[in-house]
Amino acid sequence: MGSKTAFPLDTATVQALLHARHPDPFAALGPHKHGRSRWVTAMDPGAETLSAVVGTKAYPLDRIDGALFSGKVPGTKPYHLRGAARGDAWEYEDAYGFGPVLTEQDEYLIAEGTHQNLWHALGAHVMIHEGSAGTHFAVWAPAASRVSVVGDFNAWDGRRHMMRSRGTSGVWEIFVPGAGEGQAYKYEIAGSDGAVGPLKSDPVGFGSQHAPENASVIRDISGYGWSDAGWMDARAPKHSRDAPISIYEVHLGSWRRRIDEDGRPLSYKELATDLVEYVQDLGFTHIELMPVSEFPFDGSWGYQPVGLYAPTIRFGPPHEFRDLIDAAHTAGLGVLLDWVPGHFPTDEHGLGQFDGTHLYEHADPKEGFHQDWNTLIYNYGRVEVANYLTANALYWLDEYHIDGLRVDAVASMLYRDYSRQPGEWIPNKDGGNENYEAIDLFKTTNTLAYGQYPGIMTVAEESTSFPGVSQPVDHGGLGFGYKWNMGWMNDTLHYMQLDPIFRKHHHDALTRPILWQYSENFVLPISHDEVVHGKGSMLSKMPGTEWDRFANLRAYYGYMWGFPGKKLLFMGCEFGQPEEWNHDAQLNWDCLQDPRHAGLQALIRDLNRLYRDRPALHAKDCEPDGFQWVDGGNADHSVLSWLRFGGPDDPPCLIVCNMTPVERPNYGIGVPTKGYWREELNTDSRIYGGGDRGNLGGVEAREEGLHGQPASIHPTLPPLSTLIFTFDGST
């Protein structure tokens, strides 16, 4: 053991290093000039001896105290460390021999809350730095007195890799040579009082362990070879207001399972084949994935995420998630993600009390705690937190070529008094209930997303009448492309659950939604929320006999696809799954052996085809001149009819719904043009499981005015059915 008198560190510094309390470890550890000599100081708790090796020559370091070693190492050439204990030896590069990776520009933008590529700076990045391979770690923890990265590469010992503070930005960083793909890690954070809290996962980590383990995992997300350039270049028109958009909502863990392998869910790679081919066959234009950001509790379905930047490991690593997106694009399908910026769970490894303070969340539970979900609410007014969320939206669009984001629980973010009683919430600066900071977050996120990634779409799940949700920001709106039409969903499902004998008293439930249809760009959603928590399946909601239930559901889907608005249907609803959705089991695929279920599935396929092929059914989903009532007032018969229009050269479509179990032959309906009206779809068709009552392919319009129209047709309306006719004057 060498003389301590020449050692350049004082006793207080030594003790601070040994006990992982030093606020600036790079000032003491690693190579430093002392007089004319280079001294190397290193921490290696497992070593009995430690040497610095330059080329082939080893320079023994003196043990100063415990795991701390120091000594002179001549010259300026790079060195590595060699430790030995109990007959074992190991060599490694010294993390404290490397300079910083982050730039002053990174510091400035992070502190300002405007780092649009935040994930390029923070997180764990596999890289070559100063000629050596390793991983750069960076994390925001402004109130911390010390931050260490711990993991598989350092025996989870917080003394080994204490990080470098980047000053007022609140960011800590270190490059760890040798750390790489697949290794688990967390952050050990000492608060301002020096107390060490629970180990924290990386807020910007790109991977995670399988539950119940919850460490972040180093994932190299660079260099993926995409094959979807054609899709990306041409996708913008597929998301415009005049495009056919029909969305299949999927919970990846319960869509289909491998019964032969203990019922495990399909992997991303398997889904890239099975799910993509299925959705393509049914004619949907988009897949919407319920949240894939890493989450600890299966029962949250992903809506309580901890790792916003990590695709869940449940179905495979990040590059295989990319394979799924790539396959969808190759098949001509867009992919939307459910995005959850509204709240996060209280799990101790997550964001709550991250650096010993209320860093990401509000301190006051009147602002920072969701009573409905027992979760924490982001402090959108803190610029770094808003930046964290906005950059996350951009991250998915950039790194994973996601085509759009469906933002969850927007109403809970817009209103400070959401689901709160008087005295349980804090008004804004003007005394109102609007959450100005959340509103600004939406505007900023949508502006950046549409500006940087042309051709994407954002969709708001917003259940109130907040104005301008899908209007551009420069016109005073929130900037979303579309909004879920929750009013349409609530009204129409209530109507369909009624016994038909009572429907005449609630006829306006099917007609009223047109009153607000053009106030926003709407998606008509039949989502997972409608088939859980005791609500039953779509099929079980329908009244009457077994035959009636299928007929009602077929008629309802015909009504939905004929009504203005883009479409969304949750998995299993397309074939009338008998049971309520269970996230712990696969869909009831066996029921497709029943022709009635298979017929319902065939109906959805044909509805999607017709919706895509007929501009009258989609081109003016969001334009009032694309819709005209023919007869919306026949409540006594529970019959309603309307016209849909596309461009001037597109033939109009007529939709007729009979919502009673009574066949109505020779039923008069006004139409704008005499000639032949082809029956393009009849939900009572035998191929869909119906009674096959119809009009032999179409009807001829007489030059007899009716319902304010110059001509009329007199088709047979089967019981509990929807018919879609297209004008075809050539016949």
Task: Please list the ranges in the chain whose pLDDT falls under 50.
Answer: 1-5, 731
Q: Is the dihedral of CA 190, 191, 194, 196 positive or negative?
A: negative
Each residue's pLDDT tens digit, 570-592: 999 999 999 999 999 999 999 99
3-state secondary structure of 111: helix
- C-beta of residue 723 within 8 angstroms of C-beta of residue 716: no
| Alpha carbon distance 711, 700 (integer Å) | 10
pLDDT the model gives residue 8: 72
CATH 2.60.40.10 residue spans of the chain: 4-97, 104-217
Cis peptide, bond prior to residue 212, ω within 30 of zero: yes
Could you tell me whether strands 57-65 and 30-34 are parallel, antiparallel, or unpaired per DSSP bridges? unpaired
pTM of the full structure: 0.96
| Of the candidates 79, 60, 75, the residue with the CA atom closest to the CA atom of residue 132 | 79
The yes/no answer on whether domain 104-217 falls in CATH 1.10.3720.10 is: no
- H/E segment holding residue 447: helix 436-452
Q: What is the set of active-site residues?
A: 408, 461
Treating both helix axes as pointing N-terminal to C-terminal, what angle do 595-613 and 268-282 enclose, rounded to 10 degrees? 70
Instruction: Return d(Cα 229, Cα 401) in angstroms, integer.
Output: 10
pLDDT of residue 563: 98
Beta strands (DSSP E) in 295-344 are 307-311, 334-339
Contact criterion met (CB below 8 Å) for 17 and 43: yes
Whole-angstrom Cα distance, residue 465 to residue 173? Answer: 45
256: nearest Cα among 571, 678, 490: 571
CA pair distance 537, 531, nearest whole angstrom: 5
**Alpha helix positions (H), 214-341:** 229-234, 268-282, 318-330
Whether CATH 3.40.50.1100 fits 4-97:
no
Residue reference for tokens 């088709």: 715
Distance CA 553, CA 683 (A): 9
Q: In what order do the strands lie in the sheet with 216-217?
A: 146-151, 184-190, 216-217
User: How far is residue 18 from each of residues 14, 25, 181, 619, measured CA to CA in Å?
Assistant: 6, 11, 29, 69
Closest by Cα among 84, 51, 54 to 69: 51
Among 123, 118, 115, 107, residue whose Cα is nearest residue 170: 107
Token pair belonging to 447? 């502006």
